[in-house]
Chain A
Amino acid sequence: MEAGNNVPWRCCFIAFLTVVFFSANMYAEEQDIPKKFFVTPPPFSAGIYPCSMCHKGLPTNTQPRKLQANMNIPLKHMPGGWCFECHNPDNRDKLRLANGTLVSFEESYILCGQCHGTILREWKAGLHGKRTGMWNGDKQYYLCVSCHSPHEPRFKPIKPSPPPVRPMEIK
């Protein structure tokens, strides 16, 4: 090759650097999420957390089956799925994402967001779910599980508060 024909090599080198730079950037973004939100505490029943209190000693059975033990939890979510799709058999105090990452119960919205991504996007924007507190300051986002039981998410109908009194009935 002639000495002056370094251009294609330089282009290749610059292209290589660009590729390395962008892939490094994307990798860094993956490490950025999840952003922390001020959420309400998970609605645990009294004394049930930390789960490892009982489960440290108990054997782990990863066979999908219908549970009849003392927990008596109905599972009416994800037809075809079962407990260890979300729960972590090795450490019961954490939840497990599909890619193996562990999240705490306070960050359970990330787990829900795996399938319900559009709803998670709206929850982060405030359009889905309930918030209390200050509209221009500190507010508490209600966790998904505060309203939707993770094992039986469909809302049950409730009794309405009384209707208004008709004007003719006012004395």
Chain B
Amino acid sequence: MRKTVKKMDGIHLDRRTFLKGVALGLAGTALPLNKADASFWESFFQKHFKEMNDAEIKQVLGCLEREYEEKYKKAIKVGNQKAMPRVLFGYGLDLSRCIGCRRCVYACVEENNQSRDPQIHWISVLRFKKGEKWVDLIESEKYYNPEKVPEEGYFYMPVQCQQCENPPCVRACPTQATWKEPDGIVVIDYNWCIGCRYCMAACPYGARHFNWTDPGRKSGEINPQTHYLGNRPRYKGVVEKCTFCIQRTRNGRYPACVEACPVGARKFGNLLDPNSEIRYAIEHKRVFRLKEDLNTYPKFYYFFAYGV
């Protein structure tokens, strides 16, 4: 049947063609044509991080640096250090030393460019009463605020992403926006995350946090040394978490929380190096990990070096 029928009083369409036209028109309005700059379309058609070669990654990093410079009026460097060979990061925490001062929490916020408003903390310090059944994390208090710490009769346990060897969040992600790197760090590609929060539901440690709104950061507070998979400024609608300060540790430095702790409760090192501090802790102290019954094989080893 012919689509158009020319009659004396104009062109008539049949119903089917009309509806097809309306559908296409609506689809066309969904295209963000006002964002016609090339970088938007480049990032829209960006390949998955693990599929890109070095040249493409470099291009993406350049784009991002320009975008951040425009947004924050500050030169922010986005790096992409690869994992060092024969390195598997491990973290140790001495619970007999932690006094619950939260210096690590705020050092992390400064180092990793988290949103101040609304507030996001990657590290949560939990307070437990000594002598009570405490392995159940529900019994903990996160919002304690005494005059001085440590308080008599309590001990403190900071919790952050445990960088599991068998991470449930990686298995839950529908887009493979999060994966485990060869050096053990579980990373998120913020440009690939769709914000479904399945990973947050899957994480047994509550270590992942979501940007419900545009993160509130002042340009003066931003740490300009960033990593693509780590502490670069995030967007609304993506999940973020501790990355063992990937921008520092892949350059050989200690994470910010280790350097901030005033009592030296935090230990960091390479699990594959038999002479490292973390290996000494595992071999000489009774270490345990959280929720070991879930078979996540976390890399965060807690121990009590001295009597509590």
Known contacts A136-B252, A158-B148, A159-B147: A147-B101 contact under CB 8 Å: no
- Confirm or deny: A92 has a beta carbon within 8 angstroms of a beta carbon on chain B: no
Tell whether, in the assembled complex, residue A128 and residue B264 are in contact, meaning their CB atoms are under 8 Å apart: yes
Tell whether, in the assembled complex, residue A157 and residue B280 are in contact, meaning their CB atoms are under 8 Å apart: no
**Residues of chain B with a CB closer than 8 A to A142's CB:** 264
- Confirm or deny: A100 has a beta carbon within 8 angstroms of a beta carbon on chain B: no
**Residues of chain A with a CB closer than 8 A to B285's CB:** 127
**Residues of chain B with a CB closer than 8 A to A160's CB:** 100-102, 144-146, 148-149
Tell whether, in the assembled complex, residue B101 and residue A170 are in contact, meaning their CB atoms are under 8 Å apart: no
**Residues of chain B with a CB closer than 8 A to A126's CB:** 267, 269, 276-277, 280
**Residues of chain A with a CB closer than 8 A to B118's CB:** 165, 170-171
Known contacts A129-B264, A136-B270, A147-B262: A161-B103 contact under CB 8 Å: yes
By beta carbon, the residue of chain B nearest A123 is B264
Tell whether, in the assembled complex, residue A163 and residue B149 are in contact, meaning their CB atoms are under 8 Å apart: no
Q: Which of B244-286 contact A (CB under 8 A)?
A: 249, 252-254, 258-259, 261-264, 267-270, 273, 276-277, 280-281, 284-285
- Confirm or deny: A155 has a beta carbon within 8 angstroms of a beta carbon on chain B: yes
- Confirm or deny: B119 has a beta carbon within 8 angstroms of a beta carbon on chain A: yes
Per the bound structure, the CA–CA distance linking A114 and B124 in Å amounts to 38
Q: In the complex, what's the smallest C-beta–C-beta distance from B229 to chain A, in angstroms? A: 19
- Confirm or deny: A152 has a beta carbon within 8 angstroms of a beta carbon on chain B: no
Q: Which bracket fits the contact residues of B?
A: 35 or more
Q: In the complex, what's the smallest C-beta–C-beta distance from A159 to chain B, in angstroms? A: 6
Known contacts A127-B277, A127-B280, A130-B264: A163-B143 contact under CB 8 Å: yes
- Confirm or deny: B121 has a beta carbon within 8 angstroms of a beta carbon on chain A: yes
- Confirm or deny: A166 has a beta carbon within 8 angstroms of a beta carbon on chain B: yes
Task: Report whether over half of chain A's contact residues are helix, strand or loop; otherwise say mixed.
Answer: loop
By beta carbon, the residue of chain A nearest B97 is A128
User: Which of these, A127, A159, A164, contacts B124 with CB under 8 Å?
Assistant: A164
Task: Report whether over half of chain B's contact residues are helix, strand or loop; otherwise say mixed.
Answer: loop
Q: In the complex, what's the smallest C-beta–C-beta distance from B70 to chain A, in angstroms? A: 27
Q: In the complex, what's the smallest C-beta–C-beta distance from B150 to chain A, in angstroms? A: 6
**Residues of chain B with a CB closer than 8 A to A136's CB:** 252, 270, 273
User: Which of these, A122, A161, A170, contacts B119 with CB under 8 Å?
Assistant: A170
Tell whether, in the assembled complex, residue A157 and residue B102 are in contact, meaning their CB atoms are under 8 Å apart: no
- Confirm or deny: A20 has a beta carbon within 8 angstroms of a beta carbon on chain B: no
By beta carbon, the residue of chain B nearest A136 is B252
Per the bound structure, the CA–CA distance linking A158 and B100 in Å amounts to 10
Tell whether, in the assembled complex, residue B100 and residue A134 are in contact, meaning their CB atoms are under 8 Å apart: no
- Confirm or deny: B106 has a beta carbon within 8 angstroms of a beta carbon on chain A: yes
Per the bound structure, the CA–CA distance linking A56 and B305 in Å amounts to 43
Q: Which of A4-43 contact B (CB under 8 A)?
A: none
By beta carbon, the residue of chain A nearest B275 is A125
Tell whether, in the assembled complex, residue A137 and residue B263 are in contact, meaning their CB atoms are under 8 Å apart: no
**Contact flags A113-143 to B (C-beta < 8 A → 1, else 0):** 0000000001001111111111111010010
**Residues of chain B with a CB closer than 8 A to A137's CB:** 252
- Confirm or deny: B239 has a beta carbon within 8 angstroms of a beta carbon on chain A: no
Q: In the complex, what's the smallest C-beta–C-beta distance from A1 to chain B, in angstroms? A: 57
Q: In the complex, what's the smallest C-beta–C-beta distance from A168 to chain B, in angstroms? A: 11
By beta carbon, the residue of chain A nearest B284 is A127
User: Which of these, B101, B253, B270, B277, contacts A158 with CB under 8 Å?
Assistant: B101
Tell whether, in the assembled complex, residue B119 and residue A127 are in contact, meaning their CB atoms are under 8 Å apart: no
Known contacts A157-B149, A160-B100, A160-B102: A130-B270 contact under CB 8 Å: no
Question: Which of B118, B264, B305 has the most chain A CB within a 10 Å cutoff?
Answer: B264
Q: In the complex, what's the smallest C-beta–C-beta distance from A37 to chain B, in angstroms? A: 14
The 13 sampled A-B contact pairs (Cβ below 8 Å) are A127-B267, A129-B264, A134-B253, A135-B269, A137-B252, A142-B264, A147-B262, A157-B99, A158-B99, A160-B100, A160-B144, A161-B101, A164-B124
